[in-house]
Structure 1
Amino acid sequence: MDPELVRGLVTVAVGAVSGGITNAVAIWMLFHPYEARGIGRLTIQGAIPKNKARLARSIGRTVGERLLTPEDLAGRLSAPAVRQAFDAAVGGILDGILERERGPLRDQLPPDLVVAVDEAMAGIAPRIAGRVAAWAESEEFERLATGWMERIREEVADRPLGESLTEGRRAALKDKVESWVGRLAEDDELERTLRGFVERHLDQLSRDDAPLLDRLPPGIIGALEHAITDYLPIALERLSALLTDPDARAMVEDALRTAFDNSVRDLLIHERILARLVVTDRTIERLVDGFEQEGLDRFAESLARPEMKAQVTRAVNDAVVNFLRQPLGERLRRFTPERREALIGTLGDWLVRVARDRTTRDAIARTVDRALDAVERRTWGDVLGVIPAERLAGALAEVLAGEQGKRWIEESVAQVAGRLLARPIGRPADWLGAETSAAIRTGISGAVWVWLQQQIPRVVEQIRVPEMVEQKVLGFSTQRMEEIVRNVTQRELDLIVRLGYVFGGLVGVVAWGVNALLG
């Protein structure tokens, strides 16, 4: 073979191998070695690992300032596709709220939150009652309440009450009153109240030293005297009829016999013997028979005579006046504790029986019925015009500012809160209606989207894209970065190595040609 040709082939081969290896080493040294190796200035390190921080900063700046600017983010978040996705998400949330069947609000809340709500309501109710009481005592409340009463009076002054009291409302009102009276009568609190009322008034009467005569209405003493005088003949007639009873007759005979025996003891011996012979048991029986047959009747007839009746009237008057001149408190203070307790118990039992008696309830029902009949013939102006508006406002303020009013407001707030928490929510779309539900969906979605668009520039300004990209790049290991680059550009890197072989071979051909020309 021609030596010149062999020399040329070797030159071309060496150039091709040199070019390919050089490019392969250059590509390898982009990432290798990962860490600096060597001594002193003779250290080597891959280009990318060595300049990783600068590369990350450059990539972040390029992405944040040219590829993904705040304007690009804002425009992207305002795109129609994002609006459609947003409307779909908001619609799904609203559908879950409006279309879902829900039970009581208390069941929808976590147990810890329910306890917190109960504690909050327990603390809010007294504060609301206190605020209302303070407001009720202000001049502003008096002015507002007075104006409110006057406006109501003017609006309904000529309106008949009968228009409001329909048969159904009237029956419902009567039933409600009967129900209230029934519950009140059977309530233990009523019994305690009545017994306490009796005990307090007896205690007050026991300290009253005024004569009972001064406490009675004028004219009642004369009526009482007349009644006692007229009743005496009737009492004697009843006493005569009483002697027909064997037991009563025996008691009267025994009483007369005992009285006779006591009288005989004070007589002399011969008088005592004579009395025993004259007054026997048979004599006492005939005496009682005489009283039974006509004795008491004649005594009653004698009481009917004017002169006798006048004497009886004076005697009765003296007895009644003497009785009434003694203070009632003095009589009550003579009672022993046992007798006093018995009196309190008796009066309390009587009042409780009266309050719980069916007749009392019927009387109240009849009174309510008569009151409703009378009310139907009047107008609202007649009813509201009886009391001045200022007085009504003052009474309302007094009620709201009092302890009872505060307690009522506290109980009302607690009841309202309890009912709200215990009431089933149901399906909100049912009680809102289809049109209202659709309007809520459209309105909320539009309002939230407008608000979101207003907030996007402010939010995007807070997104530091260059810093985020830089930190992300720095977070990658060199090996991971090499894998990413090679996965994307491996074909191009292989092409670079091949081109190195080609260019190296061309350099070898040129070198061989030059040698041949110069040779």
Structure 2
Amino acid sequence: MEIVGMLLVMIAVGAFIGGLTNSLAIKMLFRPYEKKYIGKWRVPFTPGVIPKRRDQLAIQLGQLVVEHLVTAESVQAKLQEEKVKNDVEHVCRKMYQQFTTQQLTMKDVLHKLDVSITEEQVEERIGKVIEQKYRNLMDANGSKQLQDVISEDFAQKLDQNIDTITTYIYNKIIAVVEEPTTKRKIEELVETYIQSKGFLGNMLLSMVSSEDIANKVHYYVKEYIQTEEGYNKIETLVQSEWTQLKQKKVEDLYRIILDDTVILTLKKQILAQLNISELMNKPIETWLKPLERKVYEQWIPQLVEQVLSKLMTYVPTMLDKLEVAKMVEKQVASFPTSRIETIILSISKKEFKLITYLGALLGGVIGLIQGLFIVFIG
């Protein structure tokens, strides 16, 4: 019984010493946090291993993160995952939906962006762009014939509508001829012409009044214009002028097409069609609604694809600019030692306990071997 008791005591002592030693070694990784002194003499093994090497640990962790964890390749691989792409598309669609349901106008959007611009300023800027584009177009095509500049469809439409144009001009001529002012003007011209003939003219006026002559001239002019021959004459003139105009070089028409009045009229017509005031006060949702399906199914996926693809090319540069290693190093170096201890223990607490138990087991085995050795030797 004495031998068994001795063996049990030695096993217990060995286990206690082995477990205590390992537990103390684990504690000495973190404790004490600072150097300890007895007088001027620094106590050995103070501070603990980790507090003493905290700066080196921060550097190593920074390098570990950059070289093995957050690498350019790992980030690029993450950006290529279908799930990431789908998540980004979902967020974009949600943002687009929220934006369109706010009933914002263009004026509201500009106000939110802190952009101060009035409708008059928008019209002025668009007008300048129209004028500049028009002048550039004319200058770039100065040596070309007009028929080479205008679109083939437009030219064909004009050719097909010569009759319509002729009718319009024909009706305008008749309307002008029928105006009372035209009749009075003919009378003035007749009277001036006859009086310029001296004695014969005065004699003619004594027999027939200038008004009668003017009425006759006016009547015959009107009658001629209204005949088929008169219409055909006007049509022939219109066709001839249009053919000659097409063959003219653009630079030969500069005085006409680059006239300030022409440009001003062009700008007014385009701005009237655009109706800037209506556009700026119109809810954005109303003119985005017809495009909603295309936005969801085409534009957003294409935009996300291009953004992620572009982002991938900039990942190495971004990581270099962010200096992730220094960021981690600085963050770890700023941690209090107690927090580092808590982080490591939260990860490896179970393993540290097993190491303590292993030390106790080894200590117990060594105590048993020592006891057996004493028994056999004794």
- TM class by shorter chain equals 0.5 to 0.7
Per-residue CA deviation, residues 122-165 of structure 1 (Å, 9 max, x unaligned), is: 356347536745875x5943634365589777775575625997
The match for 2:341 is 482
Q: Is structure 2 residue 128 aligned with structure 1 residue 129?
A: no
The match for 2:262 is 405
| Contact 1:29–1:46 (CA under 8 A) maintained in structure 2 | yes
Q: How many pairs does the alignment contain? A: 330
Q: What amino acid sits opposite 2:107 in the alignment?
A: R
Q: Distance in 2 between matches of 1:162 and 1:121?
A: 34
The match for 1:473 is 332
Structure 1 length-normalised TM:
0.48
Structure 1 residue 28 displacement after superposition: 1.4
Q: Distance in 2 between matches of 1:105 and 1:496?
A: 69
Change in Cα spacing, 1:148 to 1:382, as seen in structure 2 (3 Å) is farther
Q: Distance in 2 between matches of 1:444 and 1:481?
A: 44
The match for 1:143 is 144
Q: Is structure 2 residue 23 aligned with structure 1 residue 24?
A: yes
The match for 2:178 is none
Q: Distance in 2 between matches of 1:503 and 1:83?
A: 54
Per-residue CA deviation, residues 311-333 of structure 1 (Å, 9 max, x unaligned), is: xxxxxxxxxxxxxxxxxxxxxxx
- Residue 81 of structure 1: which of 57, 72, 83 is its match? 83
The match for 1:418 is 276
Change in Cα spacing, 1:439 to 1:482, as seen in structure 2 (3 Å) is closer
Change in Cα spacing, 1:379 to 1:156, as seen in structure 2 (3 Å) is farther
Q: What SS does the aligned partner of 1:115 have? A: coil
**Structure 2 unaligned spans of 5+:** 176-191, 210-221
Change in Cα spacing, 1:429 to 1:121, as seen in structure 2 (3 Å) is closer
| Contact 1:101–1:427 (CA under 8 A) maintained in structure 2 | no
Structure 1 residue 17 displacement after superposition: 3.5
The match for 2:350 is 491
The match for 2:33 is 34
| Contact 1:132–1:400 (CA under 8 A) maintained in structure 2 | no
Q: What amino acid sits opposite 2:18 in the alignment?
A: G
Q: Is structure 2 residue 250 aligned with structure 1 residue 383?
A: no
Change in Cα spacing, 1:154 to 1:480, as seen in structure 2 (3 Å) is closer
Q: Distance in 1 between matches of 2:290 and 2:133?
A: 34
- Residue 315 of structure 2: which of 456, 459, 475 is its match? 459
Decide which structure has the larger Cα Rg and report it: 1
Q: What SS does the aligned partner of 2:60 have? A: helix
Q: Distance in 2 between matches of 1:80 and 1:134?
A: 47
Q: What SS does the aligned partner of 2:84 have? A: helix
The match for 2:52 is 50
Q: Distance in 1 between matches of 2:353 and 2:151?
A: 100
Per-residue CA deviation, residues 371-394 of structure 1 (Å, 9 max, x unaligned), is: 9x9998788664242474177967
The match for 1:109 is 110
Structure 1 residue 224 displacement after superposition: 6.8
Q: What SS does the aligned partner of 2:29 have? A: coil
| Contact 2:36–2:42 (CA under 8 A) maintained in structure 1 | no
Structure 1 residue 27 displacement after superposition: 1.6
| Contact 2:12–2:367 (CA under 8 A) maintained in structure 1 | yes
Q: Distance in 1 between matches of 2:124 and 2:256?
A: 22
The match for 1:445 is 301
Two-structure CA RMSD over aligned residues (Å): 5.1
* Percentage of pairs with the same residue: 21
Change in Cα spacing, 1:462 to 1:11, as seen in structure 2 (3 Å) is same
Per-residue CA deviation, residues 54-89 of structure 1 (Å, 9 max, x unaligned), is: 333334444444455443333333223223324434
Structure 1 residue 45 displacement after superposition: 0.9
Structure 1 residue 218 displacement after superposition: 4.0
Change in Cα spacing, 1:214 to 1:63, as seen in structure 2 (3 Å) is closer
Structure 1 residue 47 displacement after superposition: 1.0
Change in Cα spacing, 1:427 to 1:76, as seen in structure 2 (3 Å) is same
Structure 2 length-normalised TM:
0.62
**Structure 1 unaligned spans of 5+:** 178-212, 229-366
Change in Cα spacing, 1:501 to 1:383, as seen in structure 2 (3 Å) is same
The match for 1:72 is 74
Q: Distance in 2 between matches of 1:46 and 1:9?
A: 35
Structure 1 residue 456 displacement after superposition: 1.7
Q: What amino acid sits opposite 2:276 in the alignment?
A: G
Change in Cα spacing, 1:447 to 1:396, as seen in structure 2 (3 Å) is same
Q: What amino acid sits opposite 2:339 in the alignment?
A: R
Per-residue CA deviation, residues 297-318 of structure 1 (Å, 9 max, x unaligned), is: xxxxxxxxxxxxxxxxxxxxxx
